[in-house]
């Protein structure tokens, strides 16, 4: 007699997919996704209801990448404007930086521009720290001291990839070139450099005026002279290589 085969009931598989992760872990995962690519974040949002709800978290937009957005996203398409506003309201450092750059240099709205740059600095935005420090240096007085403090704090990061002052200037230059116009005249209100013989000798040894010393440490120059050079470099980006100070 032939043996009758009976199928054993299949055990229900336990949820082992990404959906079974706790909400906190999902949020951290999507923060990493969003900080790398807004396209990937958008695809995650479309994939299922659970993910769509998980992605709708301010913490994710606080760190979301804005690399693919135009510099002035809030004046672009509706989708870009909505995404930018969500990032800004969530405390996104890049959103504060972009808005501050446009307001200060493009619109000439110095007070609100500085305030947004300051917010970006507080969140550790490197390009914002450089720009804000340069602006404070040009303001003179107590602001100059604060600018010096900010810029000097960046010196220890120069060994990190992409963190040199030259690399930051290039990223700032790219951002400024995406503005419609430069509507601000950044002029130091007082002389920045010193007249120490060691600094003057360092300049003379390398030729007339400031040497093209890049971002390498000039051990014969003081911090004031070193950052005066950075101000000149930044003003050259804004107004062209023929820009000169009045002192």
The secondary structure of 87-150 as a DSSP string is HHHTT-HHHHHHHHHIIIIII--HHHHHHHHHHHHHTT-HHHHHHHHHHHHHH-HHHHHHHHHH
Of 21-25, 123-127, 165-169, 237-241, highest mean pLDDT: 123-127
Q: Which of 163-167, 193-197, 211-215 has the lowest mean pLDDT?
A: 211-215
Residue 150 has pLDDT above 60, yes or no: yes
Work out the average pLDDT over 52-65: 83
- Please count the CA atoms within 13 angstroms of the CA of 162 that sit on its side-chain side: 4
Work out the average pLDDT over 162-188: 83
| Inside any domain, residue 74 | no
Residue 104 CA to residue 109 CA, distance in Å, equals: 5
| Inside any domain, residue 163 | no
| Inside any domain, residue 204 | yes
CA distance readout (Å), 68 to 37, 72, 84, 162:
8, 12, 11, 19
> In 3D, which of 161, 178, 154, 157 has the Cα closest to residue 67?
178
| Inside any domain, residue 96 | no
Joined tokens for residue 66:
């804005």
| Inside any domain, residue 160 | no
Total domains in the chain come to 2
Residue 52 has pLDDT above 80, yes or no: no
Binned at pLDDT 50, 70 and 90, residue 95 comes out as very high
Of 65, 97, 119, the residue at which a domain comes to its end is 65
Q: Residue 90: its pLDDT value, please?
A: 94
Tell me, what DSSP letter sits at residue 221? S
Work out the average pLDDT over 135-141: 90
Binned at pLDDT 50, 70 and 90, residue 116 comes out as very high
| Inside any domain, residue 15 | no
Residue 219 has pLDDT above 60, yes or no: no
Of 46, 65, 84, the residue at which a domain comes to its end is 65
| Inside any domain, residue 126 | no
Please, what sign has the CA dihedral across residues 66, 70, 74, 80?
Answer: negative
Residue 204 has pLDDT above 60, yes or no: no
| Inside any domain, residue 203 | yes
Residues in CB range of 143: below 8 A, 6 or more apart? 136, 137
* Average pLDDT along the chain: 77
| Domain extent at residue 213 | 197-239
More confident residue, 163 or 7: 163
Work out the average pLDDT over 44-56: 72
Q: Residue 202: its pLDDT value, please?
A: 54
Please, what sign has the CA dihedral across residues 137, 138, 144, 146?
Answer: negative
Q: Residue 154: its pLDDT value, please?
A: 80
Joined tokens for residue 21:
């992760």
Length of the chain, in residues: 247
């Amino acid at each position: 007699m032939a043996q009758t085969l009976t199928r054993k009931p299949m055990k229900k598989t336990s949820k082992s997919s990404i959906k079974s992760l706790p909400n906190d872990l999902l949020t951290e995962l999507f923060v990493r996704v969003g900080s790398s690519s807004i396209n990937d974040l958008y695809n995650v949002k479309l994939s299922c209801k659970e993910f769509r709800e998980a992605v709708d978290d301010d913490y994710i937009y606080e760190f979301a990448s804005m690399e693919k957005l135009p510099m002035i996203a809030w004046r672009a398409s509706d989708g870009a404007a909505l995404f930018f506003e969500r990032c800004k309201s969530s405390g996104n450092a890049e959103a504060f930086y972009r808005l501050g750059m446009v307001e200060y240099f493009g619109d000439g709205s110095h007070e609100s521009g500085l305030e947004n740059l300051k917010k970006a600095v507080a969140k550790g935005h490197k390009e914002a720290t450089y720009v804000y420090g340069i602006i404070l240096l040009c303001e003179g007085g107590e602001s100059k001291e604060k600018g010096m403090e900010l810029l000097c704090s960046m010196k220890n990061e120069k060994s990190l990839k992409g963190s040199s002052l030259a690399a930051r200037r290039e990223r700032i230059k790219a951002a400024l070139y995406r503005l419609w116009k430069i509507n601000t005249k950044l002029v130091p209100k007082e002389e920045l450099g010193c007249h120490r013989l060691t600094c003057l000798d360092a300049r003379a040894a390398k030729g007339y005026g400031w040497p093209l010393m890049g971002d390498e440490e000039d051990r014969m120059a003081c911090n004031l002279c070193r950052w005066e050079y950075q101000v000149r470099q930044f003003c050259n980006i804004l107004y062209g290589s023929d820009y000169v100070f009045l002192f």
